[in-house]
Amino acid sequence: QSALTQPASVSGSPGQSITISCTGTSSDVGGYNYVSWYQQHPGKAPKLMIYDVSNRPSGVSNRFSGSKSGNTASLTISGLQAEDEADYYCSSYTSSSTDVVFGGGTKLTVL
Amino acid sequence: EVQLVQSGAEVKKPGESLRISCKGSGYSFTSYWISWVRQMPGKGLEWMGRIDPSDSYTNYSPSFQGHVTISADKSISTAYLQWSSLKASDTAMYYCARGGLGEYYFDYWGQGTLVTVSS
């Protein structure tokens, strides 16, 4: 069981917006602004999409945005495109025995 | 251009030892942590531990402490992940990833090293 809880799958049609949630506790997501999101296409390495809750690295489309409320962080993808179909993982710093924890991952299907 | 280049796929037997590598280039290797992340077949990402190449300070996830060793040779900008006795359950893709000092995200990733442990 992963430390952070994500939905197993989400789907949307091209042009629509979707949101992926990432629920933790006050020891991780809720207690620190160190939530990051990664995109992973099949057979590829993960790619950083959002860091420190809502910051986008250079080169990442502004269709990707992040936010947090309480113990739940969210990744929103607007204007869905076929190329967005991938697995998405959240991650957070945690004050528990391990510094970094990942969510279980969410498979995004673009219909 | 920042790059992390990992060593190639390995096929090993249970009980054998193994060391895989991750070579950084295009940046100051001692200015960033290197973490290792496991991905078992069809599963999610798991943080294993990390090293500060400037002084080789390490910290591990309790799930991996004692079973793997993370090290680095800053003279050749290379980090390592090592097993002394592999198990079939170590079969997975292993990624190295760069993290900033005091940061908890990974901005560059290696291409992954597939380790297969089978008798």
Residue B6 has pLDDT above 90, yes or no: yes
d(CA B24, CA B5): 7
Helix, strand or coil for residue B90? helix
Is residue A29 within 8 A of residue A73, CB to CB? The reply is yes
Helix, strand or coil for residue B91? coil
Which among A100, A101, A106 is the top mutation candidate for probing chain B, defined by the most B β-carbons within 10 Å of its own β-carbon? A100
Please indicate whether, in this complex, the C-beta atoms of B44 and A48 are within 8 angstroms of each other: no
- Contact list in A for residue B46 (CB cut-off 8 A) is 102
- Contact list in B for residue A102 (CB cut-off 8 A) is 37, 44-47
Q: Which residues pair with B51 in a beta bridge?
A: B34, B58
Q: Which residues pair with B21 in a beta bridge?
A: B80
Please indicate whether, in this complex, the C-beta atoms of A102 and B62 are within 8 angstroms of each other: no
- Contact list in B for residue A46 (CB cut-off 8 A) is 37, 45, 95, 97, 106, 109
Please indicate whether, in this complex, the C-beta atoms of B104 and A2 are within 8 angstroms of each other: no
pLDDT in tens, A36-91: 999 999 999 999 999 999 999 999 999 999 999 999 999 999 999 999 999 999 99
- Contact list in A for residue B95 (CB cut-off 8 A) is 45-46
pLDDT in tens, B8-61: 999 999 999 999 999 999 999 999 999 999 999 999 999 999 999 999 999 999
d(CA A79, CA A94): 32
Instruction: Report CA-CA distances (Å) from A75 to A21, A106, B24, B88.
Output: 7, 11, 30, 35
Distance (Å) from the C-alpha of residue B74 to the closest C-alpha of chain A? 23
Please indicate whether, in this complex, the C-beta atoms of A46 and B63 are within 8 angstroms of each other: no
d(CA B36, CA B78): 13
Quick one: pLDDT at residue A2? 60
Instruction: Tell me the CB-side half-sphere exposure of residue B119, using CA atoms within 13 A.
Output: 5
Query: 3-state SS string over B13-41?
Result: CCCCCEEEEEEEECCCHHHEEEEEEEECC
What are A58's two structure tokens?
Answer: 């250079």
Distance (Å) from the C-alpha of residue A7 to the closest C-alpha of chain B? 13
Please indicate whether, in this complex, the C-beta atoms of B47 and A100 are within 8 angstroms of each other: yes
